Amino acid sequence: MKLIFYLSGDFEELAEIEAETFFEIFGGRTVEKGSQIAVGECSDEILNHLSKFGLIHEVSKHLFSCRSLKELEDEFHNLKIPEGKICVRVKNIGRKKVDSMKLERELGAILWRRGAEISVSRPQHVIRVYFSDRIHAGLLIRETNRKQFLLRRPDLKPFFRPGAILPRIARSLVNTAGIKEGILLDPMCGTGTILIEAGLMGLEFIGFEAYRKIADGCAVNLKYYGLPANVMAGDVRKMCLKDEVVDGIVTDFPYLQSTKTLGEIHELYTLAFQEFERVVKRKKRIIFLTNLDVDELASEHFCVEHKIHQKLHKSLTRRIYICRKR
Ligand SMILES: C[S@@+](CC[C@H](N)C(=O)[O-])C[C@H]1O[C@@H](n2cnc3c(N)ncnc32)[C@H](O)[C@@H]1O
C-alpha cells in the first residue's frame, strides 16, 4: 500500500529517517520526500503498528500527488468518492501557500456536486490535502496521540534527573533502530526514557546504568508504567551480556567533557563502541546521542549511516549517530 506520512517540523531529519525505517521494515521504501512529508510503499502489516509513531504526526492512504491547484481540482472531479460522510481538510506546510478554509469549501463542493455526503463536524472519512513541495492527497487513517508524550515528560515521572531526553524523541529513536521483534539495549539508561518507550511498544529491553541509585530510580519508573524492571547497575565498558544477543542499541552518552569518576572520555567511547559491536547482532542498528564528534572512532566499529545535529542551546549541540553493525 502507498501511504503519506506527515512529519514533525521540529525534528524533521530524524522524523524522515523514522518514516524511512517504517517503510523498510515492512518490506517497502520511501518513494518521495518533501517538506514534512514522506510518501512510501510497504505491506499492509504496517497498519497494526501505527500507534507506535514518535515523530510521525499523521498517516493517510495515498490518493494522488500533483503540482498545481488546477490539477488538484481535476483530481477531485475524478476521485473515487468513499461511502459515508466525508470532509476535506487542507494543511499548509511551512509558509501559507493557500487559503485552506476557502479551498476546503471549494473541494468539498466539487465532491458534493458529484453526490458525496459532506459532514464537517462528524465525518467518517477525512480527505487530507497537504501543501508541501508538491500537493499530496490521502484518506486520513490515523493521527498520533501526541498528548501521551507530554504526560510522560521526564519531570512527571516518579524518578527524575535533569538531562533526560524527550519521550517523543526517545520513541522515534527506538523506531529508527528498526526492531520488529527482539531486544533493545540502552547501556547508559539514566531514568529510563528510552527503555520505557520501547517497553510501551511491546519490545523486550535491557538497561545498564553506572550508578546504583539511578538504576534503582529507573526501576521505579519502569514499574510505574507496568513494565518489568530489566535494569542493572553496570558499566557500559564491560557489560555482562553474551556476544550478539541484542537486536538494537539506543543510548545517550553523558554530556560531559570528562567523566572524572568513570574514567577518561576517550576511553569511555573506545570501550563502549567495542562493547556495542560485540553485543549487537550483525546488520542491526546502533544509535547514540552525544555532544562530541566521534565520526572517526565510530567508523572503526560501525557503518555510520546518518549524523544529525540538534542545537539544544548556545553551548550544546547534540549529535545523533545512526550506525549499523557491518
Ligand atoms: C545523558 S544520561 C542518560 C539519560 C537517559 N537517556 C534518560 O532519559 O534519563 C547518561 C547516563 O549514563 C550514565 N553513565 C555514565 N557513565 C556510564 C558508564 N560507564 N556505564 C553506564 N552508565 C554510565 C550516567 O550516570 C547517566 O545516567
Identify the structural domains of the chain with CATH numbers, from first to last.
Answer: 2-143 (3.30.2130.30), 147-324 (3.40.50.150)
Please report the sign of the dihedral spanned by the C-alpha atoms of residue 309, residue 311, residue 315, residue 321. Answer: negative
What letter represents residue 192's amino acid? G
Three-class secondary structure of residue 79 per DSSP: coil
Element (H, E) at 38: strand 37-41
> Whose Cα sits closest to atom 8 in ligand 1?
164
Question: What is the DSSP pairing of strand 204-209 with strand 183-186?
Answer: parallel
pLDDT value at residue 313: 85
Q: 275: Cβ below 6 Å to ligand 1?
A: no
Closest CA to 62 of 109, 112, 115, 130: 130
How far away, in angstroms, is 250 Cα from ligand 1 center? 12
Residue 158 pLDDT > 90, yes or no? yes
Write out pLDDT tens, residues 296-318: 999 999 999 999 999 888 888 99
Residue 260 pLDDT > 70, yes or no? no
Task: Report the distance separating Cα 307 and Cα 264, nearest Å.
Answer: 24
Return the best residue to mutate from 209, 216, 279 for the ligand 1 pocket (most ligand atoms within 8 A of CB): 209
Whether the predicted model's global pTM rises above the 0.85 cut: yes
Cell of 75: 483530481
Alpha carbon distance, N-terminus to C-terminus of the chain? 31
Task: Report the distance separating Cα 6 and Cα 128, nearest Å.
Answer: 10
> Whose Cα sits closest to atom 1 in ligand 1?
254
Please report the sign of the dihedral spanned by the C-alpha atoms of residue 92, residue 98, residue 104, residue 107. Answer: negative
Confidence at 257, pLDDT banded by 50, 70, 90:
low
How far away, in angstroms, is 312 Cα from ligand 1 center? 18
Residue 261 pLDDT > 60, yes or no? no
Confidence at 95, pLDDT banded by 50, 70, 90:
confident
